[in-house]
Amino acid sequence: MNVSSRNLFFSAFAGWVVLAGLGIFYLFTWENGRPRLRPDRIKFGIDLVGGTYITLGVQTDKAVETELSDKMETLVKKLKEEKLTLPVSKTIKDSHIVLKFDSTQAANEALNFLNSIDPVLKFVIEGQDVKVTLKEAFIKKIKEWAVQGNIEVLRTRLDALGVGEITIAAQGEKNIVIELPNVDNPQKAKALIGKAALLEMKLVERMGSSEEEVLEEYDGEVPEGFEVLAGQERGQRKLYYLVPKYTDITGRLLKDARYGFGGQTGTESVVHFNFNPEGGEKFYELTRRNPGRHVAVIIDNKVISAPRISQPIGAEGYIHGDFTQTTAAELATLLKSGAFVAPVTFEEERQIGPSLGQESINAGLFACLFGLVLLFVFSIFLYRMSGFFAFLTLLYNLLVIMIALSWVGATLTLPGIAGMVLTIGMAIDASILIFEKIREELARGITIGKAIASGFSDAMVVILDSNITTFLVGIVLYKFGTGPIQGFAVTMMIGIIATLITGLFFLRSIFNFMLQTFSIQKLSI
């Protein structure tokens, strides 16, 4: 092994070369005689690979109605605890609760007690009725929470589908925009988006093979406070159940839901669930007080199963029905993600073909290549061989950016490519500052080694200062921007870090290697 080979092998520059080789192997694969970015390493945004834009409308009024339902049950419970006269009926009409009492005196007593119960409620008495409404500020907060809550549910569901790195954002007061890039099965995603997955546990009052049979004891009328729900079809048989309209044992009390096996044979596909402490306590009380009765497991107003209570059940249980492995796993995902705070409707759907994305990729790549060519000419013209080293640093910079994007799981979008082009232009600044300082030192008659050391050390403060201020701007853009703006900010911030690493360390390793390997009498700069 000659001296130059030995110097290369044991130099810091050799380490950078090895890292570059590993990075290229990590990012690229060889297909049809040419290198290609591995799709499992770099994720592309919808503007590059095509996909689906979906606009959902959130029925925020339903969220208000749900809140009113919860408030109504709480008010009646408070009256019962205080041992006051209970209302003979309770209904929700036109966005307000109506508690009807058997006398004006009972209504007044209830009003006097309830007036101080909840500051977000307004009470008005009309004869024997107490009307309860929510204050406007609280209604506005509920609607905002409904949209944001649905966004969190959607993010959990769609990430579970493996289509991560999607954009889900509020649009206006009631809409949510979803971007699904490069999704193989958008219809499956839409199906899960549209499901409410509301889990409820209710005691069964009556069950039969038809609604008429269920209501036979009630002269064909549904009793107040109850509803008739259909069960799943089992062969030619379908059962109907009379259950209470309201229950406080719902999916919001779930801690976990997962797919597994169970049932009578132990081999059926089931969904295991765990309640939180509050839910476990309520479910235990329900099953302890009602031995021998059936409890309906209801999902989206359909009775999945109605097992008989044989003993008190605590926080754990399972849901069984005519599940396949796939449907049980999907139901577990939906229950774990939680039910929508308010129902959603599909307002708009737009498809973007991959051909448009390919045009964007080509345009972005052309911009990068054109910028690199201009910088190459500029560097060689002004700094000769040192300019070539600066150009090598730019290439290494781009490689570091791509690896970093892959490691953090970021999605490369068209604005992201713009951020990369901007980074290329900014990265050459570090080399220029270093080279100009080296020129000044050489002009003073200092040796090449000391001039290079001085150039890097003295320029470091200026380089750090300029890049840190730009990095702070990137943080602001990421914090307050959405979608494409965030993509641009992420790429720019990663580019700044890559610029500091390559400009201060990789470029210096090249100069050190040249000094240690060759007897340089005059620096080409």
pLDDT tens readout for residues 341-373: 777 888 888 777 665 556 766 776 787 788 778
Question: pLDDT tens, 287-296?
Answer: 888 888 988 8
Residue-averaged pLDDT of the chain: 81
The reported pLDDT for the residue numbered 161 is 45
- Could you give the CA distance from residue 195 to residue 161 in angstroms, rounded to a whole number? 14
Helix (H, G, I), strand (E, B) or coil at 400: helix
Tokens (6 digits) for 280: 């476990």
Is residue 155 packed enough to be buried (19+ CB in 10 Å), middle (13-18) or exposed (0-12)? middle
Degrees, nearest 5: CA angle 282-283-285? 65
Tokens (6 digits) for 380: 């060689």
- Ramachandran category for residue 172: left, alpha or beta (phi over 0 → left; psi -120 to 50 → alpha): left
Which residues are within 8 A (CB) of 47 and not within 5 positions of it... i.e. 6 or more apart? 352, 357, 360, 413, 414, 484
Residues 296 and 319: beta-carbon distance below 8 Å: no
Write the DSSP assignment of 261-301 as a string of letters. Answer: EETTTS-EEEEEEEE-HHHHHHHHHHHHH-TT-BEEEEETT
* Residue 495 one-letter amino acid: G
**Residues 244-273: what's their mean pLDDT?**
78
- Could you give the CA distance from residue 470 to residue 474 in angstroms, rounded to a whole number? 6
Confidence check: pLDDT of 162 > 80: no
Is residue 289 packed enough to be buried (19+ CB in 10 Å), middle (13-18) or exposed (0-12)? exposed
Q: Where are the domains of the chain?
A: 3-49+353-517, 60-138, 195-348
- Could you give the CA distance from residue 409 to residue 165 in angstroms, rounded to a whole number? 8
Query: How much is the pTM?
Result: 0.56
Superfamily of domain 3-49+353-517: Multidrug efflux transporter AcrB transmembrane domain (1.20.1640.10)
3-state SS string for 82-144: CCCCCCCEEEEECCEEEEECCCHHHHHHHHHHHCCCCCCEEEEEECCEEEEEECHHHHHHHHH
Q: Which fold has domain 195-348?
A: Gyrase A; domain 2 (3.30.1360)
Confidence check: pLDDT of 8 > 60: no
Helix then strand then coil, % of the chain, to nearest 5: 55, 25, 25
Residues 345 and 195: beta-carbon distance below 8 Å: no
- Could you give the CA distance from residue 306 to residue 321 in angstroms, rounded to a whole number? 10
Span 60-138: which CATH code? Answer: 3.30.1240
Helix (H, G, I), strand (E, B) or coil at 231: strand
CA 275 remoteness from chain centre: 24
* pLDDT, greater one: 156 or 466: 466
Degrees, nearest 5: CA angle 332-335-339? 155
The reported pLDDT for the residue numbered 270 is 79
The reported pLDDT for the residue numbered 163 is 41
- Could you give the CA distance from residue 396 to residue 502 in angstroms, rounded to a whole number? 7
- Could you give the CA distance from residue 373 to residue 503 in angstroms, rounded to a whole number? 19
CA 8 remoteness from chain centre: 47
Nearest residue to 71 (alpha-carbon basis) of 125, 110, 124, 117: 117
- In the numeric block, the tokens 């730019």 are attached to 394
- Say which range, 63-67, 147-151, 265-269, 476-480, has the weakest mean pLDDT: 265-269
Count Cβ neighbours within 10 Å for each residue of 238-253 and write b for 16 or more, e otherwise. Answer: ebbbbbeebbbbbbeb
End-to-end CA distance of the chain: 31
Residues 306 and 231: beta-carbon distance below 8 Å: yes
Confidence check: pLDDT of 385 > 80: yes
Q: Beta strands 302-305 and 129-134: pairing type?
A: unpaired
- Could you give the CA distance from residue 84 to residue 114 in angstroms, rounded to a whole number? 11
The reported pLDDT for the residue numbered 426 is 77
* pLDDT, greater one: 412 or 475: 475
- Say which range, 207-211, 329-333, 335-339, 399-403, has the weakest mean pLDDT: 335-339
Residues 48 and 412: beta-carbon distance below 8 Å: yes
Confidence check: pLDDT of 374 > 50: yes
**Residues 122-140: what's their mean pLDDT?**
91
Tokens (6 digits) for 400: 């570091």
